Structure 1
Amino acid sequence: MSGSDMPLEELLRHLDRLAQQSLSLWDVPDGAKARLINVSENATYLVEAPDGYRSVLRIHRENYHSHRAIECELAWLEALDRDGVVTTPGYYTGRNGDPIQRGKVDGLPDARYMVLFHFVEGSEPDESGDMTEGFEELGTIAARCHDHVLGWDKPKDFERLTWDADAMFGPEATWGDWRDAPEVTPEVAQVLEKVEQTIRDRLDAFGKAPDRFNLIHADMRLANLLVDANGTRLIDFDDCGWGWFLYDFAAAISFIEDDPRIPAMREAWVRGYRSVREMSDEEEAEIDTFVMLRRMALLAWIGSHIEAPEPQELAPGFAAVTARLGQAFMDRIGA
């Protein structure tokens, strides 16, 4: 049984043992302990010691990223920070000289990669009210990152996930098949089959020119911004990979695509983006395609991660709302 097939409570017990015993792989203070703060693709722990030391341990999902892929993520983090594009979290090098450690405990069928990040001060922007200011900043940061990758001399053998139509809808889809998600009734499936084909056709026409399709963060939500008196930091690059630049807006509204504030948030994001980088009217008009691409991917993600608390909470009604959004999308474009 793989870790992803294991009941969550059992998996977390094993991961907790792995977290505690793995701290010795880095030069952390005596008495340091790890405490789970988030579980999704990865398990994330806050590491604290009596002397006030804090860091963040990420234990990767098994068989999701290779050692080389994680190296490439860290290389981009470093480059963005070094080149003054956006402040990103640093990381600690292990006692063996490698920032990426590997560990295993009895009960886990596969070893896990781990990275220990610097603790980042700050709080997430408030998402309860008017979010236009935050989304304008998100658009500005996205454009800076996109400009950066176009001029960045990437390391040789650069390896990251690809977020294209095949990765979302193909037989080996990264997050699984949306058809297997909870509450995908025959009526819902009938609509979403048409939505998928419409998305595929429009993405084929839009193309993958390097100034449209390149290295992206792929999860640039307000929840991944930390703000304090020293400025804004962008965190959680675990999903960064090859994708369309406009997908970064779609990711920014993950799970709230039906929120009535979306038009204002989209306008603010585009305004922020255009303050840094050109976006044609044709590209702006295609944003809805990427929103539906992301929404369909999230439906699949819920189905393939249903053991975790967040997907369980999101699942009720998610498929039906996705179908409603998809039908509205097709109606708008005359599909």
Structure 2
Amino acid sequence: MNGFAHAAAPLWGLDPAQVSLVAKRENEVWRAEGPGGPYALRLHRPGYRTAAELQSELDWMAMLAKGGLTVPRPIPSRTGRLVEVVGDTPVDLLTWMPGRMVGKQGALEGITDRAGHMHRLGALLARLHDLSDNWTPPEGFTRPRWDRPGLLGETPLWGPFWANPDLTSAQRATLRQVQIRAEADLAARETALDYGLIHADAITENVMVDGETLVLIDFDDGGWGFRDFDLATVLMRQLTAADYPALRAALLEGYAARRTVDEAALDLLLLCRALTYLGWIIPRRDEPGGEERSRRAVATALPLAETYLETSDV
């Protein structure tokens, strides 16, 4: 997409020679230098999000930034649009966020007060949920749904987790049993659960530290979902940490200062979060490191699934 980035830069009045690749994950992110400071030029994978979904993501982020949350703010192009299309590639421009990424694969790198960090992150997610609840999305707003069908239906949002090729036949049978039981469990709880717009991907790679401020980036998977799912996403990467109980308690305490937490539902959604990665990796398994990530997803999800079957009373 190198040529696309260089072709897109002038749409925002930026010099193509001052654009450099900094990240290539679901999307490509390029750092674009400009008179107003650096910006993040995002090239979206064609076909991954509809035009309406991309516009909705940016409208939501703009509201959060205006509400005081430290998140990237979308910048209109010279034509006034938030999303431009170069070839078949949607492109947008965001303010460049200061600070450093917390870490990779759940590592809290350079964080000396680990519980304090989790407490601040819980409070940040609570503010995000508060602002979202107080906002009326514009007409046509559409984002993915991390609801019961999206997590445990026959066509989950991130794919059929029971079909992961690194599962044995016995493990697939276990996950099918979990799917049926967990779906009934969530159905019995869902009317009482807090539901609304969530980030859905507040992993360490998407949280930045700037002094005492936490910065939340990458809203690509954000959408409608159970609020405890945001907490579950944070906690899943910490399950094997020696201080996991303290990290969990701090995260929930920071969140519960503003909003309520259903701990029983949180455990169920932790299981659901782990299952999603089994499906997510299937179309990406042939990418560099894909097989290792797939096996890691299996190693995380299976113990949770087996414990759930042993302890649930649905």
Q: In 2, distance between residues paired with 1:325 and 1:77? A: 33
Q: Deviations over 1:253-286 (max 9, x none)?
A: 345544443332221111111112233xxx1222
Alignment partner for residue 93 of structure 1, among 56, 71, 76? 76
Q: 1:121 is paired with a residue of what secondary structure?
A: coil
Match of 2:28 in 1: 43
Q: In 2, distance between residues paired with 1:75 and 1:28? A: 22
The count of corresponding residues between Structure 1 and Structure 2 is: 308
Match of 1:77 in 2: 61
Q: In 2, distance between residues paired with 1:120 and 1:182? A: 38
Q: Deviations over 1:116-149 (max 9, x none)?
A: 1111110133614763222111111111122222
Deviation at 1:208?
A: 4.1
Deviation at 1:334?
A: 4.4
- Contact residue 41 and residue 93 of structure 2 kept, 8 A: yes
Quickly say closer, same or farther: Cα 1:134–1:229, change in 2 above 3 A. closer
Match of 1:225 in 2: 207
- Contact residue 182 and residue 319 of structure 1 kept, 8 A: no
1:63 aligns with 2:44: no
Deviation at 1:88?
A: 1.3
Q: In 2, distance between residues paired with 1:234 and 1:314? A: 24
Quickly say closer, same or farther: Cα 1:254–1:68, change in 2 above 3 A. same
Q: In 2, distance between residues paired with 1:146 and 1:53? A: 30
Q: Deviations over 1:231-252 (max 9, x none)?
A: 2222111111010000001111
Q: In 2, distance between residues paired with 1:148 and 1:94? A: 26
Match of 1:9 in 2: none
Alignment partner for residue 28 of structure 1, among 3, 11, 14? 14
Q: In 1, distance between residues paired with 2:154 and 2:183? A: 14
Match of 1:322 in 2: 301
1:122 aligns with 2:99: yes
Coordinate RMSD, CA, aligned: 2.4
Deviation at 1:293?
A: 0.5
Alignment partner for residue 250 of structure 1, among 232, 237, 245? 232
- Contact residue 250 and residue 290 of structure 1 kept, 8 A: yes
Deviation at 1:21?
A: 2.3
Quickly say closer, same or farther: Cα 1:198–1:305, change in 2 above 3 A. same
Q: Note the residue ranges of structure 1 that are not aligned, 5 or more in a row.
A: 1-14, 105-110
Q: 1:315 is paired with a residue of what secondary structure?
A: helix
Amino acid at match of 2:19: K
Deviation at 1:304?
A: 2.1
Q: In 2, distance between residues paired with 1:170 and 1:329? A: 18
% of aligned pairs identical?
27
Q: 1:44 is paired with a residue of what secondary structure?
A: strand
Amino acid at match of 2:30: Y
Pairing of 1:1-335 with structure 2 (within 5 A): 15-29=1-15, 31-39=17-25, 41-48=26-33, 53-84=37-68, 86-104=69-87, 111-125=88-102, 127-128=108-109, 131-208=114-191, 212-229=194-211, 231-279=213-261, 283-309=262-288, 311-334=290-313
Deviation at 1:64?
A: 2.2
Match of 1:10 in 2: none
Q: In 2, distance between residues paired with 1:175 and 1:264? A: 30
Q: In 2, distance between residues paired with 1:250 and 1:234? A: 16
Q: In 2, distance between residues paired with 1:119 and 1:178? A: 35
- Contact residue 188 and residue 320 of structure 1 kept, 8 A: no
Q: In 1, distance between residues paired with 2:306 and 2:100? A: 37
Q: In 2, distance between residues paired with 1:24 and 1:307? A: 35
Amino acid at match of 1:315: S
Q: 2:17 is paired with a residue of what secondary structure?
A: coil
Q: In 2, distance between residues paired with 1:288 and 1:309? A: 32
Q: 2:304 is paired with a residue of what secondary structure?
A: helix
- Contact residue 176 and residue 300 of structure 1 kept, 8 A: yes
Structure 1 stretches of 4+ with a deviation exceeding 4 A read none
Amino acid at match of 1:56: A
TM-score for the superposition, normalised by structure 2: 0.88
Amino acid at match of 1:47: A
Q: In 1, distance between residues paired with 2:283 and 2:243? A: 29
Q: In 1, distance between residues paired with 2:152 and 2:257? A: 34
Q: In 2, distance between residues paired with 1:231 and 1:320? A: 33
Deviation at 1:310?
A: 5.1
